[in-house]
Structure 1
Amino acid sequence: MKIIQVIDQLNVGGGEKVFVDMCNILNKNNIEVSAMFLLEAGVLRTQLDSNIPYFEVKRIKKWSLKKIQYCSLILNKFDIIHCHFRHVYRYISLVNLLFPIKGKIIFHDHYGLIEKDTKVPFLFSTLFKPNYYIGVSKTLTYWAEKKLKVHKDRIFKLENIIIKTETIELSDKKFDFILVSNIKPIKNNIFAVKLAKKLNKSLLLVGQNQNDNYFNELSNLANESNVVVETNITNAQIILQTAHFGLHTSLSETGPLVLIEYIAHKLPFLAFETGEVSITLKKYFPDFFINSFEIDEWEERISLIQSKQYQDDLFDKVFEMEFGEKKYFSDLIEIYLCVNKKN
C-alpha cells in the first residue's frame, strides 16, 4: 500500500505539525509514504524524516492545467491520497475531475472554526463530496455525517497527537506564563496579554503573525507589559521549559495540539474549553479548563492550580495512553485498510 500525504505548504501550525508527525510515524513503521506540497515545502520540511520522498508542485496559478496534470501524474502512482485541509482537498478534487486519479482520496479535515462556522464549502456536498472523511474531533465527524451527508461507515475520527521532543528540565524559568498559538483574532492572544498585565506576570507569546492589524494591536499592548513575542520558533516544545505555566485562550479549536505539548512536558496550564483535546484532557485535569473570559476567574483558577501538586507520572500516563504513537499508528493503519478494501 503506497501512501502520499498532500498539503499546500509546511508553515508553522497545528495541522502542519500533524502532517509531519503522521509522515514520520508511518515511515518509522516501514510504511511506504511520500509527501506532496502544492506550493513549496516550507519551513517545517526539515522536520520530515530525511528518507521520505517529497514532491513540490510549485503551483503559482490555481487553474494551471499543466500543474493540474502534473499533480495527477504523481498521484496516480499511489493507492491512498491523504489530503490535509479543505482548500487542499478542493484542489485535488479538481485534479481528479479533470484527470481522474486511480487511488482512494481521503479528506482529512482540520477546520478549527467548526464550532462557529458549520456551513458547507462550495461544491463539497455535490461535485467534490468526499468519499472518505477523517475529522480530528467528534464535532467535525458529526458535521460530515449531517451536513456533508457522507455515509457513516466512510467517516473516521483521528484525534491529533504529537511526537515529544526531549528537552532538559530547567530549574531557572524565565517566564511566569507561556502561550503557544499563531497570532490572529480567533486565537484571542490579546486576552493573555491583558491577563498577564493585570496579574503583573511575565508572558512569552510564541506564534506566527497571521493578521497584521491584530498583531500590531497585540505588539502595542505587549510593549506596555512584561510580554515577549517570538514569531520565528518552529518547534515550541524546546522552549516550554522556560515558563512555569501554560495558557491557551483560543475561541474555537479542533485540537488544540499545544495542550498535548503542555502535557508531554508536564506543564500545568489553563485553557478555554474548546476542541477534542480539551474533552479528552478534562477527564484527568478538570481544573485546567475554564468556560469564561473573566480575568478575575482566570486569576482565581490559576492560583488554585498552582496551589496543587500534580505528579509527573500522571502527565506521563495520560500522554502515553491518550496520545501515544503506537495507538495513533494503529488507528491510522486501520483507516487505510478500511478505505483500501472499499469499492
Structure 2
Amino acid sequence: MRVLQLIDSLEAGGAERMAVNMANMLSETVERSYICATRQEGLLKATIKPEVSYVFLNKQRALDWAAISKLRRYILEEKIDIIHAHSTSFFMAILMKWVLPKLKIIWHDHYGDSENLKNRKYGVLKFCSTYFSLIISVNTDLKNWAHSHLNCKKVVYLPNFVVQEKDLHKVTQLKGISGKRILCLANLRAQKDHHNLLKAFKLVHKQYPEWTLHCVGQDFKDRYSDSVYQLVTALDLEQQVYFYGSCSDTNAIIGQADIGILSSSSEGLPLALLEYGQGQLPIVATSVGNCVSVIPEACREFLVPPNNPELLAEQLMVLISDGILRQHTGDLIHQHVMKHFSALTVKEKLMSFYTEL
C-alpha cells in the first residue's frame, strides 16, 4: 500500500499538522508513505521524517498545468494507490482521479467553522465528492453534514491525534514570570476569537497582575490581526500579552506554560487542546465543536460558552488561585487525551479504512 497525504501548505495549522503526523505515522506501517504540499511550504517541512517521501508542486493557480503534470508523473513513478486529501486540496486530488481512474481518493474534512455549517459554500465540493471513496470528518457535526450534503456514501468520524515526541528542542523562550503563564495556541483567525480572550484576560489581570498571556500562531497581516493588536493597546495590555507568530517547537512552548486556553467561537476538533493535554496543561476552553470530547467529565466546569469573557475569566482565575487544582486538572486531561487521542488508536482505525479501499 502506497499512500500520499495531500495538503495545500506546510504552515503550522491544525490540518497541516495532521497531514504531516499521518505521513510520519504511516511510514512505520505502509509500504511507502508520501506527503505533497501543493501551494506553499512552511515550518512543518522540517518535521517530516526522512522515511517519508516529500514533493512540492509550487502551484500558482487553480489549473496550474505544470503542477498537475508534476504530480501525475510522481504518482505514476511511485505507483501510489491512495491520495488522502486534506481540506481544500481535494480539487487537485480529483484532477488526478480523472487522469488516473484507478486511484482511490479520501477527503479529510478539517473544517473549523462547524458552528456555522449552514453558511458553508460547497458547490464545487459536492460535485467532486462523487469521486471520493471515503470522507473522514474530525467531528460528528461534520460527519452528519457530509452525509446530508455530499455525494459520497461512506463517511466516517476519525478524531485528531497527538504524537509523542521524545525530545523537546527548545527554541522559543516565553517571556513573563515562570509559573504564571497562560498559553493560547491559535492562528490569528476570526473564529479563534482573540477578542474574547483579551477581554477575559483583562479581567484576570486586575486580580492577578503578574500573570501573562502568550499567543502562538500565524499572523496573516489582515484586518483581523490588526483589530487584535488594537484591542491589546485599548485594554492597556502591551506589557502582559505577547505574540510569537508561528513556532515549530510547540512541545517546548507548552513545557513553559501553566494553563492552556482556547477562546474560539467555532471549532472542529482543535489540535491545540490535544497538545495541551499531552503536555499536562490544565485547560480552559469554549464549548464549541468537539472540544467537549477532549475534556474529561470531571473537568468540564472549565468549558464555557463562546463569547462570554466574564465566564472565561472566572474559570481562569479558579485555576490561577489553586496550584494543586491546576496540577490535578492537567493530570486528568492528560490521561484522557492519551487514552482516546493517541496515534496508536487512530492508526488502527485509519489502516482499517485504507484496507477496505
Give ranges in structure 2 of 5+ residues lacking alignment.
206-210
CA distance in 2, matches of 1:111, 1:294: 23
* TM-score with structure 2 setting the length: 0.86
Match of 2:340 among 322, 340, 343: 322
Preserved CA contact (<8 Å) 2:20 2:35 = no
Preserved CA contact (<8 Å) 2:269 2:291 = yes
Residue number in structure 2 paired with 1:81? 83
Residue number in structure 2 paired with 1:217? 227
- Cα distance change on mapping 1:280 and 1:194 into 2, 3 Å: closer
Give ranges in structure 1 of 5+ residues lacking alignment.
none
Residue number in structure 2 paired with 1:14? 14
| CA deviation profile, 1:158-197 (whole Å, cap 9, x unmatched) | 1001113454999x62643111100021110122122222
Matched AA of 2:124: L
* TM-score with structure 1 setting the length: 0.89
Mapped pair 1:179 → 2:184: yes
Residue number in structure 2 paired with 1:109? 109
- Cα distance change on mapping 1:30 and 1:89 into 2, 3 Å: closer
Match of 2:258 among 239, 244, 250: 244
- Cα distance change on mapping 1:144 and 1:215 into 2, 3 Å: same
Residue number in structure 1 paired with 2:269? 255
- Cα distance change on mapping 1:180 and 1:221 into 2, 3 Å: same
Mapped pair 1:147 → 2:157: no
Residue number in structure 2 paired with 1:158? 158
Residue number in structure 2 paired with 1:229? 243
Preserved CA contact (<8 Å) 1:184 1:211 = no
Preserved CA contact (<8 Å) 2:203 2:313 = no
What is the CA RMSD across the aligned residues, in angstroms?
A: 2.4
Mapped pair 1:300 → 2:300: no
Shift of 1:30: 5.3
CA distance in 2, matches of 1:164, 1:132: 28
Preserved CA contact (<8 Å) 2:5 2:83 = yes
Shift of 1:294: 2.8
Residue number in structure 2 paired with 1:270? 284
| CA deviation profile, 1:75-100 (whole Å, cap 9, x unmatched) | 34211111011x21022213433x23
Q: Percent identity?
A: 23
Deviating more after overlay: 18-27 vs 274-283: 274-283
Mapped pair 1:335 → 2:353: yes
- Cα distance change on mapping 1:83 and 1:127 into 2, 3 Å: closer
| CA deviation profile, 1:229-267 (whole Å, cap 9, x unmatched) | 110412322112322212101111111111111111111
CA distance in 2, matches of 1:311, 1:191: 23
Shift of 1:148: 0.9
Match of 1:204 among 201, 214, 235: 214
- Cα distance change on mapping 1:211 and 1:180 into 2, 3 Å: same
CA distance in 2, matches of 1:228, 1:322: 32
Match of 2:194 among 160, 164, 189: 189
Residue number in structure 2 paired with 1:279? 293
Q: Secondary structure at the match of 2:247?
A: coil
CA distance in 1, matches of 2:304, 2:31: 40
- Cα distance change on mapping 1:208 and 1:122 into 2, 3 Å: same
Preserved CA contact (<8 Å) 1:36 1:54 = yes
CA distance in 1, matches of 2:197, 2:121: 32
Preserved CA contact (<8 Å) 1:4 1:33 = yes
| CA deviation profile, 1:301-336 (whole Å, cap 9, x unmatched) | 223344435166534421221111211111110110
Shift of 1:73: 2.7
CA distance in 2, matches of 1:258, 1:304: 21
Deviating more after overlay: 34-43 vs 255-264: 34-43
CA distance in 2, matches of 1:274, 1:195: 17
- Cα distance change on mapping 1:303 and 1:50 into 2, 3 Å: same
Matched AA of 2:110: H
How many residues are matched?
Answer: 334
Matched AA of 1:264: Q
Matched AA of 1:285: C
- Cα distance change on mapping 1:294 and 1:65 into 2, 3 Å: closer
CA distance in 2, matches of 1:65, 1:255: 34
Preserved CA contact (<8 Å) 1:160 1:323 = yes
Matched AA of 2:215: L
Q: Secondary structure at the match of 1:8?
A: strand
- Cα distance change on mapping 1:249 and 1:132 into 2, 3 Å: same
